[in-house]
Amino acid sequence: MEELRGVELLPEPGEPKILSAVDPSTAGHEGQWRAEVTGWAPVVPDTLPYRPRRIFSLASGVIIALFMGLIVVLWQSDLLLLRLPPPTSEWAFEDTEIRTLQEDGLSGEGVRICMVDTGISLTHTSLENTNVVFKDFVGNSQTPTDYGSIAHGTLMAGLLLSNDFQTGIAPNATLGMAAALSANGDNNTGSESRVADAIRWCIFDFEADIISLSLGGEQDQSASREGPAVSATRQAIDAGIFVVAAAGNDGGAGDDGFVSAPGNVNLVITVGASDRNGDVWSQSSMGESLDSDGNLRVYPHQKPELTAPGVNILSTGENNLWYTSSGTSDATVFVAGALALILEAYPDLKPNPESTTACIELVKQALADSMNSNLQHDTTQGYGQLNAKAWLNQFTGSINC
């Protein structure tokens, strides 16, 4: 048996009594070494043909066609229209600290603001349950109507009153909307006498605390007397009613150097527009150094008095949609709305039958001081940018005006 050292003995398949001697040093002996004569050879399994699973059949094609048809029907019927919410202009409310005053509980409750504009449509869901009094100077509508291009009045009203998605500046204020402008192509226009009639309605019928004028006309330097809209604005001022007006949108290379009328009236708060970075909007109008009587304007009545957010501002539009707009119109509403919050906090500032211009002068002084106490004025930025909290903080204790 000495000669069998180093080999392995493997039983044959089917006959375990027969042993085969295997040299383990032979490469591959474990796999297919044995010859067929020993009665066994490894069997290689038969290969099964591979048939990929059918991913498309007539039945699945019909199902997909029916599904796509259903999608088209739903899309055309507006039932499958997915509208992503637009980006808000929350930065404007935050930068002006209007949200801070709202967090303190102020919402414009008890304050009456009148707008002279293109009217208003109340079909937008964000304007539901708002307090609106409507007067039509364009047509004869007894229900709120917007006659403007891109529903300008509805845009301005939404900045003030919106109660959904983007909360307005003073959502609980009562708004008087006098429709005096209407679409003329891409612009909104109206006769100056109609605008004057609307302002007087705000004074005597609606009994406004604030009149917000996101409108304006060119100052006629050759005229021997002021126009009817300016005269009506002076009536409001004399009655102690605050008037906030747009500086105008003719800035840049073609700027005539004057704010729009009636923003030129001395005691009106005239507003330019700024962007998200705090820079003055390129189209915001420059103010003049002399008033209509030829006297040098002095602190705090230099024009414009301030800037407020007015570039790419989101607000309510027609057909329950949201639009963005740019201009001193938007900026005007931010200041008028901030003033409404201040009048809610200090109701003694609101006009009454015995009012003079004293409270207006006090509020304008506080406005200028809240932005710039060193008497510095810029012909486009005014005394600075709106800061509602700082403006409110100028009033302490009882009001005596």
Residue whose tokens read 């679409």? 183
Catalytic residue among 89, 95, 117, 209: 117
Catalytic residue among 89, 95, 152, 370: 152
Give the three-class secondary structure for 338: helix
Please give the backbone phi and psi of residue 192, each rounded to the nearest 5 degrees, phi first: -65, -35
Cα dihedral sign, 292-280-366-337: positive
The length of the chain, given as a count of residues: 401
Query: Which residues contact residue 23 at a Cβ distance below 8 angstroms, ignoring those fewer than 6 apart?
Result: 6, 7, 8, 29
Give helix then strand counts, H and E, for the chain.
Answer: 10, 13
Structure letter (DSSP) for residue 261: B
CB 365 within 8 A of CB 269: no
Give the three-class secondary structure for 189: strand
CB 89 within 8 A of CB 314: yes
301 flagged as catalytic = no
293 flagged as catalytic = no
- Residue 68: CA atoms inside 13 Å, Cβ hemisphere, count? 6
CA 343 to CA 347: how far, in whole Å?
Answer: 5
CA 355 to CA 236: how far, in whole Å?
Answer: 11
Catalytic residue among 107, 121, 329, 370: 329
Residue whose tokens read 């073609």? 254
For β-strands 313-316 and 322-325, DSSP reports them as antiparallel
User: And the tokens for 96?
Assistant: 């002006």
Edge-to-edge strand ranges of the sheet holding 174-179: 131-136, 174-179, 112-117, 210-213, 242-246, 269-274, 306-309
For β-strands 269-274 and 174-179, DSSP reports them as unpaired
152 flagged as catalytic = yes
Cα dihedral sign, 363-256-328-229: positive
Positions marked active-site: 117, 152, 329
